[in-house]
Amino acid sequence: MTDFKVSFLGLGVMGFPMAGHLSKAGYPVTVYNRTTQKAKDWVSSYQNGTAQVTACETVDQACKDADIVFMCVGNDNDVKEVATQALNAMKPGSVLVDHTTASADIARELYAACSDKHIGFLDAPVSGGQAGAENGQLTIMVGGDEDIYSKVEPVMSHYARHSQLLGKSGSGQLAKMMNQICIAGIVQGLAEALHFGQRAGLDCHAVIDVISKGAAQSWQMENRASTMLNNSFDFGFAVDWMRKDLGIALDEARKNGSTLALTALVDQYYADVQKLGGGRWDTSSLLTRLK
């Protein structure tokens, strides 16, 4: 399987370690990043392994010989721009995998564009944040065709603890919207509980130790409650990124007629955090607006 030549487009806090796991697994990896120095830094980090690693200055150079092209960029516009360049260079029979959190519409659009060129496509947004990417413990939600997924899943497994095909193209992005909707509500609930406990004069660390053993338990409680109490918000998934994701979910809700009252409210609470200067704070910083 490591005979596959893979490319990775986008070396941000997620893409950099994800591409690194592929190199460590023995795949020849070619990388591209808009900031060329970032691609060179990645090569410097992984060139001592057994696999060939290469940095390219253009998307078409990075993609022309690849069997699988992964990308993890910023938003719909970035996805469309980079994917268009990639498709101009990719060979028939290859596969494009988009790990960006983007809209279901752009996923469907790319699926059609890839099909016209006899190229496979998967929309495969991830959850787990920077730590999940670095530790190879991401969860991947996938939309696309089963035969393409079966081809790519063993490769993605090197940076995922779980991936699952959820339906036709766009399904991965829709599932990621559900993921972010859940997180928004849970973090707000946790922030309010901690705020309440502090105002009540309780030892919130002790309370969390107790209630985390019961029905209130969540990943956010286990991993963020103590840092929230310590006013530490300099890690994890940034508020600016969460607002982008919630905006995508709210747009989709308007299209399918679903009601996301809590999501819309928490999105505005995150806007409050941005006004406090917290655009790059972790999403658990919802607590700051209650102080």
* For the chain, percent of residues with pLDDT exceeding 90: 95
- pTM for this model (two decimals): 0.95
Q: Smallest Cα–Cα separation from 160: which of 241, 70, 94, 283? A: 70
**Pairing of β 160-165 and β 138-144:** parallel
The CATH number that domain 6-167 falls under is 3.40.50.720
Catalytic residue among 176, 244, 255, 275: 176
Total residue count of the chain as it appears in this document: 291
**Residues 173, 96: Cα–Cα separation, whole Å:** 15
**Residues 221, 205: Cα–Cα separation, whole Å:** 11
Q: Smallest Cα–Cα separation from 157: which of 31, 25, 63? A: 25
The CATH number that domain 174-290 falls under is 1.10.1040.10
177-193 residue pLDDT tens:
999 999 999 999 999 99
Asked if 40 is an active-site residue, the reply is no
114-165 residue pLDDT tens:
999 999 999 999 999 899 999 999 999 999 999 999 999 999 999 999 999 9
Ranges of each domain in the chain: 6-167, 174-290
User: Does the pLDDT at position 247 exceed 80?
Assistant: yes
CA 91 vs CA 27, 115, 118: distances in Å: 18, 12, 8
User: Does the pLDDT at position 244 exceed 70?
Assistant: yes
- 3 confidence band (pLDDT: 50, 70, 90): confident
User: Does the pLDDT at position 1 exceed 60?
Assistant: no
* Residue predicted with more confidence, 33 or 2: 33
Whole-number pLDDT of residue 51: 86
41-79 residue pLDDT tens:
999 999 987 889 999 999 999 999 999 999 999 999 999
